[in-house]
Chains A and B, each alone.
Chain A
């Protein structure tokens, strides 16, 4: 990507990255308006608080976190849209906020339903604009369009006015427009938001294929856990501006949910007390029961249940990833590594 880029250097390097916003606050109603007219109250919000990580070429990383956690702010700093308040960030050897041509030609940021397509014209016109702006040679443009059309099934929609396209069709065109210049670093912020399940799967497959073909580095945020589990082995969890987890998805499950669920189908009724003997009874409906057992004792306890209880069927499962993440965010399992209170100050303007 650049002179400084070589195989051993991570494509994305982030150290102590910080972003503090100034937010104006106002009480509701006329009184609040009058008070704000004379004296505006400002609050400093630390959206990203000294996060650090590195990502190697070709890696696909999932950014997870609740709304307002700071993941989109972090992505925008990586893409050069936002200037960091402090810290170090390099993407492909470039400092994003400088927005150099070589940097911009090698990245893309797809932002859910925010569109770059010209609303009143066919998507093809927007593609032509991008071809010209990114100086894509005709042969390469045609080849890429052929490929994208095939994978994303764009045939038949490229000549329709963008405003007449369905959400799914528009999203496919947005994705194609964003990747037309074959960037090596992809920042995907909720790329499947609002799409139906089939379209989500199609987009996911496309991203996976793109990653494989071009060895692209991908950071993905999504509220759909299926996007993340299907695409990313590595997960970075951000909460309140801090990284609270960075590692394998499987490790996240192990760390955040130290138990497994033993799902029992009993052949005859058993009192709840007997089931609680083996672990935490998390649900019970007639002959069906879910018992949460410590991860490291799963085999032993499952074997005992099979031997000691009238079991017709048994399955052992990891808790659903949504639940794991929910536990993580609710703070019942883990606190931020070095929690720093959100800075706030008041000032008159």
Chain B
């Protein structure tokens, strides 16, 4: 147990140092994920044009929703599909495979510690957003922040594992990242980053509910903003746990089969 804790601590601290070296790039990556902020301006404009509110959302509710959606998107960012795809195709995975630790945990440590590098810049932008739309309340109390932390962590696990599964496909395909591109398009529409799911046609919404996408952004946002009542929070956390466990199992199965195909080229 002590060795495991030490491993965790060393991996996170070293990867935090590694990610800190890229802090300028991290800010640029953050700005490139600004869709919810742009959509916030669009929907607030629409609410104003409609006399103050549309579909039950006023300016402050839109601002809270999209700021929370932006935070959530920032916290679940995963680039492991690209990294894994590159390392498998170039043979750079080999040194990691020689060590008695599943390479996933090193990638995980890199992603998780990068959140800490992101955090100060995120808080600045959220603070600016709250100033721009006066009267916006992001969250009702600290308990919702804590529940959100749990929910967004599960959302991150799920997104990370989806990306990992996509990256593993590089054992079979020349360019698995093409599938991750497809994921980005699907996620933009289906996670609720473009609009709250209340605005989607009922049939589409019913379909989306059966996918992991709304549990990556839409539902964590409802937890943070206090829109989800207690029973919904419990349901959301349970379903998030199931999705994360499901993708973990899929990842393990793909990994075992993929390793048998590894070419270790050039390394």
Chain A residues at the B interface, C-beta cutoff of 8 Å: 21, 76, 79-83, 97, 99, 101, 104-105, 107-109, 111, 114-116, 118, 120-121, 125-126, 128-135
Asked if B142 lies at the interface with its beta carbon under 8 angstroms from chain A, I say: no
Bound-complex Cα distance A39 to B11 (A): 46
Whether A114 lies near B94 (C-beta < 8 A) is: yes
Quick one: which of A21, A108, A126 contacts B98, CB cutoff 8 A? A108
- Which residues in window 1-58 of B have CB below 8 A to A? 3, 6-7, 9-11, 14, 17-18, 21-22
With contact pairs A114-B94, A121-B21, A125-B17 given, residues A132 and B7 touching in the complex (Cβ less than 8 Å): yes
Whether B260 lies near A83 (C-beta < 8 A) is: yes
Quick one: which of A99, A104, A131 contacts B10, CB cutoff 8 A? A131
Bound-complex Cα distance A82 to B258 (A): 11
Bound-complex Cα distance A226 to B264 (A): 27
A118 contacts across to B, CB distance below 8 A: 14, 18
Identify the 4 closest CB pairs spanning chains A and B, nearest first.
A116-B95, A132-B10, A104-B100, A101-B100
Q: How far is the CB of A81 from chain B (nearest CB, A)?
A: 4
Q: How far is the CB of B20 from chain A (nearest CB, A)?
A: 9
Asked if B99 lies at the interface with its beta carbon under 8 angstroms from chain A, I say: yes
**What are 21 A-to-B residue pairs whose CB atoms are below 8 Å?**
A21-B263, A76-B94, A80-B97, A81-B94, A81-B264, A83-B260, A83-B261, A97-B260, A109-B98, A111-B94, A111-B95, A111-B267, A118-B14, A121-B18, A125-B14, A125-B18, A129-B11, A132-B11, A133-B7, A134-B99, A135-B7
With contact pairs A121-B14, A133-B7 given, residues A82 and B264 touching in the complex (Cβ less than 8 Å): yes
- Which residues in window 236-263 of B have CB below 8 A to A? 259-263
Whether A129 lies near B95 (C-beta < 8 A) is: no
A81 contacts across to B, CB distance below 8 A: 94, 97-98, 262, 264, 267
Q: How far is the CB of B213 from chain A (nearest CB, A)?
A: 32
A79 contacts across to B, CB distance below 8 A: 98
Asked if B144 lies at the interface with its beta carbon under 8 angstroms from chain A, I say: no
A116 contacts across to B, CB distance below 8 A: 95-96, 98
With contact pairs A81-B264, A114-B92, A114-B267 given, residues A107 and B14 touching in the complex (Cβ less than 8 Å): no
Whether A133 lies near B99 (C-beta < 8 A) is: yes
B92 contacts across to A, CB distance below 8 A: 114
With contact pairs A76-B264, A81-B97, A133-B99 given, residues A114 and B17 touching in the complex (Cβ less than 8 Å): no
Whether A115 lies near B95 (C-beta < 8 A) is: yes
B99 contacts across to A, CB distance below 8 A: 104, 130, 133-134
A111 contacts across to B, CB distance below 8 A: 94-95, 267
Asked if B129 lies at the interface with its beta carbon under 8 angstroms from chain A, I say: no
B9 contacts across to A, CB distance below 8 A: 132
Q: How far is the CB of B2 from chain A (nearest CB, A)?
A: 10
Bound-complex Cα distance A281 to B140 (A): 97
Whether A114 lies near B95 (C-beta < 8 A) is: yes
Report the nearest B residue to A115, measured CB to CB: B95
Whether B98 lies near A121 (C-beta < 8 A) is: no
Bound-complex Cα distance A101 to B92 (A): 20
Q: How far is the CB of B245 from chain A (nearest CB, A)?
A: 24
B266 contacts across to A, CB distance below 8 A: 114
Q: How far is the CB of B86 from chain A (nearest CB, A)?
A: 14
